[in-house]
Amino acid sequence: GGGGGVNVSTADHSIFGIVMYNARLHVCARAAAEGHKGSAAEAEELLDEMEDRGFRPTLFTLNKMLEVVEGASAYGAAGLREAEAVLVRMQRLGVRPDRESCLRLLGATAWAAYHGGGAAD
């Protein structure tokens, strides 16, 4: 039956959704790296929304979130609490951190120490 419409499977829809959320997190990471306040909070809201809509964050997604935290930490806008929240989320989702995860976490920790502990306001 050639109806001519596009049949998008549930898997394709899920992959498209994850890619879109990853792109939005990338924008937050760039903004955080440039010192824009609120980027870490916005990224965390995106992750919550992503899960609420039934999309499972991937290792890439969570590393992007750690990139946001690291960038925001450089300006004192995020810190250890935000980094720990990402690690807790990784554990809850059964996502094992990789080399990039550890490097981003070290970066965020170093910046938090530089800014005196790094708890975000």
Token look-up 């419409």 returns: 5
- Please state the rounded mean pLDDT for residues 98-105: 97
Residue 94 in this model has a pLDDT that exceeds 60 = yes
Which two three-digit tokens encode residue 51?
């899960």
pLDDT at 1: 45
Which two three-digit tokens encode residue 105?
């976490």
pLDDT at 9: 56
Percentage, residues of the chain above pLDDT 70: 85
Q: Using alpha carbons, select from 71, 16, 15, 17 the residue that is nearest to residue 43.
A: 71
Residue 8: other Cβ atoms inside 10 A: 9
Query: What confidence tens digit (pLDDT) does each residue in 25-57 have?
Result: 999 999 999 999 999 999 999 999 999 999 999
